[in-house]
């Protein structure tokens, strides 16, 4: 991006500013031409400073060295309620154990 600015944008803007100030095709007075020069230099400084800050700033959230997930084998399913479960110590629990205990207790209390 900075190469594009250095080689194309800045020379075009400089040519335009010099053309407006020296040739004065719009018949501006001296104050207007000086104001144009100052504002253009200030804008160029602002853009250059902003771009240099963005290039030198460290990237946020750089990925840390983490362990890649292990491949544990092909997933196997059986039955209507079975999820795909592969090896490597996976376990699956259906339902909520606390809710099942409460239901059994309520049935016993009703009897």
The model's pTM is: 0.45
Query: What pLDDT sits at residue 30?
Result: 93
Query: What pLDDT sits at residue 31?
Result: 95
Name the residue ranges covered by the structural domains of the chain.
Answer: 2-55
**What is the full DSSP assignment across 23-58?**
I-TT---HHHHHHHHHHHHHHHHHHHHHHHHHHHSP
Query: What pLDDT sits at residue 45?
Result: 84
Query: What pLDDT sits at residue 38?
Result: 92
Query: What pLDDT sits at residue 106?
Result: 80
What is the number of other CB atoms lying within 10 angstroms of the CB of residue 47?
Answer: 14
Query: What pLDDT sits at residue 88?
Result: 56
Query: What pLDDT sits at residue 27?
Result: 93
Query: What pLDDT sits at residue 20?
Result: 87
Query: What pLDDT sits at residue 49?
Result: 83
Rg (alpha carbons) of the chain, rounded to whole number? 36
Per run of 10 residues, the mean pLDDT along the chain (length 111 residues) is 76 86 91 91 84 71 64 64 59 63 78 71
């Amino acid at each position: 991006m900075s190469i594009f600015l250095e080689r194309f944008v800045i020379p075009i803007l400089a040519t335009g500013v010099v053309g407006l100030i020296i040739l004065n095709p719009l018949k501006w007075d001296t104050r207007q031409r000086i104001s144009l020069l100052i504002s253009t230099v200030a804008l160029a400084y602002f853009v250059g400073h902003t771009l240099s800050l963005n290039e030198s700033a460290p990237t946020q959230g750089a990925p840390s060295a983490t362990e890649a997930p292990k491949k544990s084998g092909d997933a196997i399913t059986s039955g209507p309620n079975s999820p795909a479960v592969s090896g490597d110590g996976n376990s699956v629990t259906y339902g909520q154990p606390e809710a099942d205990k409460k239901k059994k207790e309520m049935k016993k209390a009703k009897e």
